[in-house]
């Protein structure tokens, strides 16, 4: 069993830095074909201040899970599983619970679940009661009596004060004391991610944070400084949305494929190399993706992959919404551009059509009122030169 992450703070320097091949060739692929026994040889990392040993590759579950695939992932050695009460309206948790119970693998897993229900509730007792109620629903579906970590799900900039609320801290401490959770965390893909990460590092009571992070953020100075701060605070750092987001540029991807390059593999390797990040949660849906992501753990980004990934980043920078938010949204007067474009990405890149539509349609009417929004001004304000007006129109057309 080897420790692949321990040298904190090398972060950005390492993010796209190519490294020499180590010669450590782990036969992850062949393990998938072997007898279905839990494999305990997959390399582990220490998850920040939790001190827990987990796999650097985690499994995301925000899709209609196939029990046989979940079992294959667990038996191939994945120890880190991320879920939420809201994924597929609770059925992701139910499927996980069924597989975990049947295979008797609960104790070997690090299981994370989350709730969206927080922020509006005030007072220690009320917060605790609400969190406990949602947690218990998750535990019942997961067929377990504890979660390794419980998250405030999808924190937005508007909810940042919840982190500084002493009653929230006490409510989580009470849940820990009861044994229903071991650690506390949050997830975030909001425009105010840097501010949320900094607050998470300052308040001290959180153990881990999961956030959107991929090769496109290498030049995002504010975010990089916030990650440094969170890393110094020894928070467990988990990346999500690491690989997708470019299928919507088939012309660019096809050209890369001709050069023998697979963007998703290079993208996950780039984040594996960032030594501040301990885990990458990937939304794998088939054994090929599982095999590739496992193999990539011990297969450093080559010079050629780094070069092609950077080429791809530069060529598509003005097509990919970075979620930075406030500039275009202030100008748009009402339309939450970053959120709308994220839902469009769920629809186009992730193939989550129903979920994307449901999320868009749940936005308040004024957020979808394109007639009164100033999309031309939003487009002008976007520092990446995105065709904001056109993209928002496409989103509205597909998601309404």
Where do contacts with ligand SF4 occur on this chain (CB under 6 A)? 321-325, 327-328, 337-338, 341, 382, 384, 386, 388
Please report how the helices 250-258 and 303-316 are oriented relative to each other, as an axis angle in degrees rounded to 10: 160
Taken in order 103, 45, 271, 295, is the CA torsion positive or negative? negative
Backbone angles phi, psi at 64, to 5 degrees: -75, 100
Give SS3 for 366.
helix
Kindly state the smallest distance separating residue 377's Cβ from ligand SF4, in Å: 12
Kindly state the smallest distance separating residue 232's Cβ from ligand SF4, in Å: 27
The runs of H, that is alpha helices, within the chain are 11-15, 28-33, 67-75, 91-103, 124-142, 161-164, 166-178, 193-203, 221-232, 250-258, 263-272, 287-297, 303-316, 326-332, 337-348, 353-361, 375-381, 388-399
Kindly state the smallest distance separating residue 363's Cβ from ligand SF4, in Å: 15
| Residues paired with 283 in a beta bridge | none
Tokens of 50: 């939790």
Kindly state the smallest distance separating residue 343's Cβ from ligand SF4, in Å: 13
Residues 6+ apart with CB under 8 A from 126: none
Contact criterion met (CB below 8 Å) for 340 and 378: no
Using left for φ > 0, alpha for ψ between -120 and 50, and beta otherwise, residue 90 falls in left
CB nearer to ligand SF4: give 31 or 322: 322
CB nearer to ligand SF4: give 81 or 328: 328
CB nearer to ligand SF4: give 306 or 337: 337
Kindly state the smallest distance separating residue 338's Cβ from ligand SF4, in Å: 4
Question: What is d(CA 350, CA 307) in angstroms, rounded to the nearest whole number?
Answer: 25
Dihedral, CA atoms, 24, 44, 62, 103, nearest 10 degrees? 100
Kindly state the smallest distance separating residue 115's Cβ from ligand SF4, in Å: 26
CB nearer to ligand SF4: give 240 or 290: 240
State how far the alpha carbon of 77 is from the alpha carbons of 55, 109, 264, in Å. Answer: 8, 10, 21
CB nearer to ligand SF4: give 100 or 321: 321
Kindly state the smallest distance separating residue 374's Cβ from ligand SF4, in Å: 13
CB nearer to ligand SF4: give 65 or 324: 324
Give SS3 for 11.
helix
Kindly state the smallest distance separating residue 284's Cβ from ligand SF4, in Å: 27
Contact criterion met (CB below 8 Å) for 180 and 146: yes
Q: Whose structure tokens read 């996950």? A: 268
CB nearer to ligand SF4: give 212 or 273: 212
Kindly state the smallest distance separating residue 356's Cβ from ligand SF4, in Å: 17
CB nearer to ligand SF4: give 199 or 386: 386
CB nearer to ligand SF4: give 43 or 325: 325
């Amino acid at each position: 069993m080897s420790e692949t992450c321990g040298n904190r703070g090398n972060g950005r320097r390492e993010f796209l830095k190519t490294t020499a091949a180590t010669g450590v060739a782990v036969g992850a692929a062949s393990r998938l074909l072997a007898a279905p026994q839990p494999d305990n040889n997959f390399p582990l990392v220490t998850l920040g201040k939790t001190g827990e040993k987990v796999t650097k590759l985690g499994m995301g579950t925000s899709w209609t899970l196939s029990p046989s695939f979940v079992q294959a992932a667990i038996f191939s050695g994945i120890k880190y599983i991320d879920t939420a009460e809201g994924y597929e309206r609770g059925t992701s948790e139910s499927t996980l619970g069924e597989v975990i119970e049947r295979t008797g693998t609960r104790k070997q897993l690090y299981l994370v679940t989350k709730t969206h229900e927080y922020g509006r509730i005030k007072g220690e007792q009320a917060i605790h009661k609400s969190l406990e109620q949602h947690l218990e629903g998750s535990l019942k579906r997961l067929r377990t009596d504890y979660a390794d970590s419980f998250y405030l799900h999808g924190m937005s900039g508007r909810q940042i004060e919840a982190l500084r609320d002493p009653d929230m801290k006490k409510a989580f401490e009470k849940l820990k004391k009861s044994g229903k959770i071991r650690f506390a965390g949050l997830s975030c893909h909001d425009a105010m991610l840097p501010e949320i990460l900094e607050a998470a590092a300052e308040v001290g009571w959180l153990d881990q944070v999961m956030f959107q992070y991929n090769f496109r953020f290498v030049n995002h100075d504010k975010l990089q400084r916030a990650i440094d701060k969170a890393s110094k605070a020894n928070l467990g750092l988990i990346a999500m949305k690491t690989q997708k987001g470019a299928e919507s540029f088939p012309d660019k991807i096809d050209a890369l494929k001709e050069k023998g390059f697979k963007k998703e593999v290079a993208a996950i390797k780039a984040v594996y190399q960032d030594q501040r990040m301990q885990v990458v949660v990937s939304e794998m849906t088939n054994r090929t993706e599982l095999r590739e992501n496992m193999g990539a753990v011990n297969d450093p980004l080559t010079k050629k992959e780094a070069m092609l990934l950077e080429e791809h980043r530069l060529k598509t920078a003005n097509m990919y919404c970075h979620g930075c938010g406030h500039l275009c949204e202030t100008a748009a007067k009402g339309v939450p551009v970053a959120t709308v474009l994220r839902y469009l990405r769920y629809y186009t890149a992730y193939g989550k059509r129903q979920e994307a539509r449901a999320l868009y349609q749940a936005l308040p009417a004024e957020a979808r009122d394109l007639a009164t929004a100033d999309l031309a001004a939003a487009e002008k304000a976007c520092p990446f030169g995105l065709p904001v007006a056109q993209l928002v129109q496409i989103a509205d057309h597909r998601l309404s």
